[in-house]
Amino acid sequence: MVSKKVFVAGHLGMVGRALCRQLQLQPNIELVTATRAELDLTDQLAVKTFFQQRKVDEMYLAAAKVGGIYANNTFPADFIYQNLIIECNLIQAAHQADVQKLLFLGSSCIYPKLAPQPIPESALLTGPLEPTNEPYAIAKIAGIKLCESFNRQYGRDYRCVMPTNLYGPYDNFHPQNSHVIPALIGKFYRAIKNNEQEVTIWGSGNARREFMHVDDLASACLHLMAIVQNKYWAGLEPMCSHINIGTGTDCSIRELAELLLVLTGFEGQLFFDFSQPEGTPVKKLDVTRLKNKGFVSSIELKAGLDMTWQWYQKNLHFQQ
């Protein structure tokens, strides 16, 4: 017997697929999804009609336009507009259809460029953002405030989580528009295939990042959604109505590249291109609140990278 209908917006993305994989293992859940052809999330009327017809009980908002430094720098208008309109349409329609529970997935780029490390939730709106992805970050901050405002005004239970840098199966491996891990995996694969002697890394390699396997993120999201509302918000001041999701550990881009060099079996050299941007110097999340809610990451970086490399080689058709 179905106890609730759960809608995953963005179910064909890396995060959405991971959420669906885990939700399908839950008893008494009817998973609700819609492809872009079936539902245009930028069409306000279509989204409103969808919610009225499908009678959703709960939603995971994982739909977003995403990309790396190059994509954010090149298409800033697309990033801010599409992300704003998607989250506005979905959150408003969910409210109008009386959906009480919702989880909005943001991004760690919401925090100031020079935020204290590791970054606590309270760092939100305390300083200038990283210029290379400011439009995307502003859209995600707006999503947090939308959820916060619906909770305050209407008593909704709309929760927000801020994941660290993610990777895993069904990531975007585009040569220019991808994040660092899928970009490097693609570079190493092409270098091996073409017998190249060098793989180029943007920047000095000194920037430090925290990386989390997407299956770990999905586990954390389901864990946080299962917590009773009053316990979930306990101890969260009004300006911190979101929870960081991460591993609590980081590595340099150089260390990441060297690890992938070994895992992929590439026998050439690494070249660090100092003329290219590399973003904020350090970015690691403070995951104290997540741990206090009973969740600890379980997939170590080396194991996660190896799983992703193996998946990539078996699913090249997905990337073409």
Separation of CA 204 from chain center: 25
Q: Mapping DSSP to helix (H, G, I), strand (E, B) and coil, where does residue 11 land?
A: coil
15 is in an annotated binding site: yes
107 is in an annotated binding site: yes
Cα gap 55→82, rounded to integer Å: 25
16 is in an annotated binding site: yes
209 is in an annotated binding site: yes
178 is in an annotated binding site: no
108 is in an annotated binding site: yes
Separation of CA 52 from chain center: 28
From 136, 170, 189, 312, the catalytic residue: 136
235 is in an annotated binding site: no
Q: Sign of dihedral through CA atoms 178, 111, 167, 273?
A: positive
202 is in an annotated binding site: yes
Do the Cβ atoms of 56 and 99 come closer than 8 Å?
yes
Q: Sign of dihedral through CA atoms 228, 229, 235, 240?
A: positive
C-beta neighbour count of 281 within 10 angstroms: 12
Q: Sign of dihedral through CA atoms 256, 261, 264, 269?
A: positive
30 is in an annotated binding site: no
136 is catalytic: yes
179 is in an annotated binding site: yes
Q: In angstroms, what CA-CA distances link 198 with 181, 192, 312?
A: 17, 10, 20
278 is in an annotated binding site: yes
Do the Cβ atoms of 102 and 147 come closer than 8 Å?
yes
Per-residue tokens: 89 = 């349409």
Per-residue tokens: 268 = 């050439």
Cα gap 89→81, rounded to integer Å: 12
148 is in an annotated binding site: no
212 is in an annotated binding site: no
Do the Cβ atoms of 183 and 175 come closer than 8 Å?
yes
83 is in an annotated binding site: no
Place of tokens 């993610």: 166
39 is in an annotated binding site: no
Q: Which residues are annotated as a binding site for substrate?
A: 187, 202, 209, 278
Q: Which residues are annotated as a binding site?
A: 10-16, 105-108, 140, 163-166, 179, 187, 202, 209, 278
Q: Which residues are annotated as a binding site for NADP(+)?
A: 10-16, 105-108, 140, 163-166, 179
Active site residues per annotation: 136
